[in-house]
Structure 1
Amino acid sequence: MTHDAAAPPPGRPGRLKVFLGAAPGVGKTYRMLDEARRRLDRGTDVVVAFVECHRRPHTLAMLEGLETVPPVHRPYRGGDFAELDLDAVLARRPEVALVDELAHTNVPGGRHAKRWQDVEALLAAGIDVITAVNIQHLESVKDVVEKITEVPQRETVPDEMVRRAQQIELVDLPAEALRRRMAHGNIYAPEKVDAALSNYFRVGNLTALRELALLWVAGRVDEALRHYRSEHGIGGVWETRERVVVALTGGPEGATLIRRAARIAARSAGADVAGGDLAGGDLMAVHVARSDGLATGASPAALAEQRQLVESLGGSYHSVVGDDVPAALLDFARAVSATQLVLGSSRRGRIERLLTGRGIGETTVGRSADIDVHMVAHERAGRGRLLPSRRRTLTPARLVAGPVAGLVLPVVLTAVLTGHRGSLNLTSEALLFLLAVVGVACVGGVVSAVVASLTASLLLNYYFIPPIGKFTIAEPNNILALAVFAVVAGTVAAVVDRSLRLSRRAARATAEAETLSSLAGSIVRGGDALPSLLERARETFGMDSAELMTEAESSTPLDGPGVEVAAGDGAVLVLRGRTLSAADQRVLTAFAAHVSAAVERARLAEAAAEVEPVKAADRMRTALLAAVSHDLRTPLAASRAAVGSLRSHEVRFSAEDRDELLATAEESLLRLNRLVDNLLDMSRLQAGALSLRLRATALEEVLPAALESLPAGAPAVEVRDLEQAPAVRADPPLLERVLANLIANAVRHSPPGSPVVLTASAHGDRVEIRVVDRGPGLPASERERAFEPFQRMGDTDNSTGLGLGLALARGLTEAMDGGLTPEDTPGGGLTMTVSLPAARLGDDARLPLRKGEL
């Protein structure tokens, strides 16, 4: 078949489309093949890289006429398995490749352990991929599916891999329809239908899996919608999904509000509050730490308990800073596209509401526009605050009412006192005016107090200080009294104003400390990743976006309306959205320092991870010294004793004795040579300095040398079927070392009279060499530890060598693109299986082994 379509442009990553299903048999592969046919009709170069039809006739019919890349067959545990031939697909380089079963685990021998990693390689090569996966294979819902179906899910794919798809299409089918398809034999073979319908394919299981798939896709669509709204600057609420925000003050009514909001969210989502499932975060709790004094009445312990309650109900907790609480609440609600806002009824008493005017709830309702606001009654409504609240910052209403009161209240008091002239003396009248000035100062601050003081002084002089009716003073002591009145009034007003300012600072500091403490706690606990911290910064300051840059990246000027920049230690936090006040900028700087601390924490974690190999190497050196102290010294001592005896002139040895001493020295030196060779090879392997000369190698070529290294008197080695096995692609000296070490290990553990069996057979493009013994075997829990260096399995007296044999054998085998696995020998014992690629043309090149390939 010829292909006129152009190959994908170089440098452009491929696009991914995923067909997501709730269960096997819903029709993902069929839909995928249908998509391929439609694209082929439009002239697109489409190939089927790997599709599993499970012998379903309708799916097989859809496969006809599509170009298919033949799979590669790999042997595994006595079976033959078809796998995606990644190299062939990359060489074919189509525009679109179909790859089924994204979560599949590959048979050993390929490039990657998982098929989704093969898909990543195709995307990186610029090839578009269409794939399919079931909801139970997503890592985030694996445990939920196991709980529902009671079937463990061993094959998973990271959610991020599926989320990066440009298109996700849900293949949906009602539970009863899927069961009918199963009963008609369209999914499984007839002998498997009854068991499937009574177990995994129960109506309840399928309904729950279907709901999981729908909710997961809905969340993905919601992410795309938020991204679109952010890109286009859309601030209004789109009621595509009910989201409920509950406002918390840290008071005792918080638990009541949370439960009421949870019931509202559950009714909207059709969820069960008692089950703690609100379907994807439809409930959000927010606490506004503000500078108007109310934040000082919040109990940190109560907020912590309320946060736990929200999270136990499936919601999320957020904290923001805002001087204007209604504006902060509504900004947060619009930022998360909330449709409903739950507030508690005011805890202020009637008199306080009368004096201070509209509260937070009424103001929020007035500004809410397209967000529904629920005012929830609770047992603390109208009963005031549990903790005494410091005096608040002046509201706009008090800023107007203060000066007006400073003018009106002295006039009213004058009218009252002139009606009772003669009943009070001048001192009492002056004290009453002073009391009025203090009251005005408490309402309107220092400016209002000055206005009231001037007005009261003039009225007191004109109406109550002789001569009455004139702005003159006849007696000197009256001048002193008026002066003292003015000083006292001004002093009281200044003290009241200072207390208000100090109260505001303390409240602001408390709010900032609460926010930063929450952030620092999350960093110390290590629970929040850097993206989560940036999102928290965006929410806290009500900005549109937040990003972290290095000092080099931020060297270009970052200015303009709504751009705020704060530098931390080696990092710059950039927020875009609105202009912050000076106080908020100070908090932002502290925020940046905390985020920089999170970056530093991540860097230290990476450094600690880099140190781990060094620690492992140090442990290995320690183990090496401990082993060498015995294992190298023993053959040295034996050979030295034999040579020393031969050189002695005091004893005359017979020919037989001399031969025995020479044999002892030779055997000890050979043992020492093997130990040194093992140490050198292991060092080269770990340093990445070993070079390979891979070529076609017959097993008969290396086996004699491997058997020569066995000690005298060792059990016999029985060789079977080696002549029928094809040549392998290997480095002959290294393969000899592998076989020698495995045979020596088998001989050491074989009982007397029980031979070690060596056999080989071909499986596809691989050759498996088996070394079989009838010894005590090795428990499954100990098998991996046996391949670690300096592990003497079953040795209690340091008599079995350095413990490098198995470790070196596996390392050398993997260096030659092979594998070494231990298995139980039927009837007892251990079988070591070496899997190597069969020889092919062009296997004579010298290939360097790079560090990290083991």
Structure 2
Amino acid sequence: MTFNQTNFDSLDEFPIPTVKRRGRLKIYFGYAAGVGKTYTMLNDAQEALKDGIDVVAGYIEPHARPETMACLEGLEVLAPLEISYKGITLAEFDLDRAIRRKPQLILVDELAHTNVEGCRHKKRYQDVDELLQAGIDVYTTINVQHIESLNDVVASITEISVRERIPDSVFDSADQIELVDIEPDDLIDRLNKGNIYREEQARRALGNFFTKENLIALREIALRRTADKVNRTAINNEIQNCDQAKSKTQYANEHILVCLSSAASNAKVIRTAARIADAFHGTFTALFVETSETEESDNKNMMSLMENLRLAEQLGAQIATVYGDDIPAQIAEYARSSRVSKIVMGRSAHTRKWFVKSNFVDKLTAYAPTIDIYIIPDTQSSSYINFPKFAKPSGLSLVDTAKSVGILVICTLIGFLFTALNFSIANIITVYILGVQLNAIVTRGRMYSAVSSVLGVLLFNYFFTEPRFSFQAFDPGYPVTFLIMLVASLITSTLTKQVKEQARQSAQKAHRTEVLLETSRKLQQAKNQSDILIETAHQMVKLLGRTIIIYAAKQNTLSEPLVFPKEDSVDSQAYLATDERAVAEWVYMNNKHAGATTNTLSTAKCLYLAVRSGNSVLAVAGIVMDKESPLEAFEKSLMIAMLNECAMALEKENSNEAQKQISIQMQQEQLRANLLRAISHDLRTPLTSISGNAGILMGNSEVLNKAQKKSLYSDIYDDSMWLINLVENLLSITRIDNGTLNLNMQSELLEEVFTEALLHINRNSVEHKIETVLDDEFLMAKMDSRLIIQVIINIMDNAIKYTPPGSHIIISAKREKQMVLIEISDDGPGISDKAKSKLFEMFYTADNIRGDGRRGLGLGLYLCKSIINALGGTIDIKDNIPHGTVFYFTLQAEEVNYHE
């Protein structure tokens, strides 16, 4: 695969636009070659260069006009991209070089030019669009005959059909249109002087395209198209600057419907409908009616249909598909349900045939009498209807042929049996008609049913009418019998085929609708971004029956692809090559479709579509098209709807994640506020006490006796220890909440841990009776001993502070299966049920009055719970019978190694 001048072996080489600003597009518009578009563009570029703007001539079409080429002097000219095509070296615009150079303004001549095979884009206007997305302003040129919707009008005037065209949306989206205009007589004079073409070429042009009548007509069309652009810009400004609701509803009543087909004239019908929709500022829809014969159409018809469908999309139409063999009824039903105001369709010169009672237009008018119908004549076509009623039979199948022959043989054998049993001829006729119905059910294509009907009549005549074993008939009534038998067979086979096809269409439509509904339901149940993308991919495989590749967007790039093959045996490595990923990267960066069946990087094996939400791409979906037929219109519509559902789900997930982050930040802010408020309030008491006692000692040390000094020293010590414990708790909580707490998990003897903890508890512990009870003196648990000692100290200090002197405090441990249960109980006043539910919350303090009269911050027990949970245990509280409180927590038990 070739991407412009080079293969991107490394994604780092792929040009990545870094600017968000979109460039501005100015089009120099003319009604014919030679009016001075390129000359005017180069003169404006010279003026811009004088104003200090960085200008580069990206590509200027070589001209045999010295005054035009002289305008290039002083401008930096970008080297062209040379591509070898069929033994010829061709010069093309080098898009990658232009993006790397990244000037402020670039000149790109001939906007409608078709790039040679091997360039990234098929059309030059796509190159220009990528330049605009990279933030580069573009000057370009175009003639009136290159605008898509005007192609038929120009062709009818000049009798020349131009193949290089641009969508109307490209012209209408330009920021500025400058009409380069001269009088037709002056243009003809320039042509005669050889200022446009060489002498021989100029003589041919004057006799064909450049007649005065043609130039006058083309000039008028160009003036009108420019005026339409100015009018459309004014309307858009009115919608943006005035009352939007009023302005939008002013043109919202017109709905234009065009009927799609594979006919060559359908392109003219689509362009006409687009012009009507544009004139009425209405909604534009292109409808395709899929019939039972659509699948039997040949490749040429299908390719023509796809080209017409793409043309309708380029002209801004919404594509819709309905099913049914009665085409006028389907169109009328869709038009009524969609509030269509005007229907545009084609009509050939031969609208009636001797066997047709009423033509297509009459039927449609009868079905939809209140809708305006515009008929676009086509004098070049002799077909009856411009709709996909394909009559070409499908290819012969050996299996279907064998089935048809077998059914006829069985019907003949049954006929012999009925003859032997002296049954009437009518019974044998019924058997053959039944055989034709069975043939219609088990075979594909109407040819088998028709042939079976004829052969059934011939077999009946040959074997069962007198004289037998000949195709003669003595009875004069037999020819009528044969005719009725043939008609009945044909009618029953046709009706059977129709019922079978309708059942198939209904099942297919139901399946696709079910897949879409199931997608919506599964995406709602998806828990995260990965689940959303996986469910979407599975549903796309179910809908399309093709291998799907998903690239998730993470941190401004695409993650590794997820492959969902249609079959387990599919080798997907070819679809994960560097070139394929480069196409997916391009789709992600440019928010456009690319790959197979598109005009951008069309040599890729997959069709890549952006899962977009507004201007941001959330993921890229790749659909394997290698050796696969193009997507049907209805399949493409459902697929896009499915990707839109995926985008909405991803956007919702991202919104939820953002909301969670905001909620976490709010909680952190609330925690910080609570912490500052609690510290500012509760630190005041110990700090005041410390400073006051220190001041007394400093100023009155000589008058204080020994007992008074000791009391003051004790108060200072208690207050400072309280502050130290507070700071330790705050640091531990911070490390746990930030995830920076490093656990040093080891097997420890609980007896040693208890002993160490009791050495650091409140000095008032001497006023209580503290007892240690161990179920086994070698009882061990897996823990971070430093943290568990802190837990025991916090709980023991609470028991000491909130129980009266002389109370009993017991710390015990015992083995329970794979865990060790540690309990710290007291026989104090206990804790209320209301306080128990909130006791482990941060900043919560119970109503108990401490012995020192100081209120705690409510951090100790919160820290205990955080530590125990981090170690994989549980912590809780219960009443101690008959009175008091029991704090208990669990740790992972460890076996004792007695040899050690």
TM-score of the aligned structures, taking structure 1 as reference length: 0.37
- Which protein is bigger by CA-based radius of gyration? 2
TM-score of the aligned structures, taking structure 2 as reference length: 0.35
